[in-house]
Amino acid sequence: MQITIRYMASLRDRMGKREDILDLPDTIADSEALTAHLQTLDPAANALAHPAIRLILNDAIVPRPSAVKDGDTLAFCPPFTGG
């Protein structure tokens, strides 16, 4: 299964990249399993598990956990700040 993962805003800086395209085992069926897998690959991915991080799956905001499948694009988006 291949998934595109995008890191938005400050998460891009934390991860040191804009996106990953990963070949994943079929045992990863949802966003929480994917997040746990990412944490095993890179300690910076611990930030992705924070409950304030929104998930955008194929251009739609989705709740945690959400099912993922081959060809999906999942973006991790931190809360917006500013004024």
* Position 42 in a domain: yes
For residue 71, give the CATH number of its domain. 3.10.20.30
Q: Specify if 56 maps to a domain.
A: yes
Structural domain boundaries enclosing 25: 2-77
For position 80, what pLDDT does the model report?
Answer: 80
Give every residue of the chain whose pLDDT is below 70, as ranges: 82-83
Number of domains in the chain: 1
pLDDT, position 83: 63
Residue 74: which H helix or E strand, with range?
strand 73-77
| Order of strands, sheet of 54-57, starting from the edge strand that comes earlier in the sequence | 19-23, 2-7, 73-77, 54-57, 60-62
pLDDT tens for 72-82 read 999 999 988 76
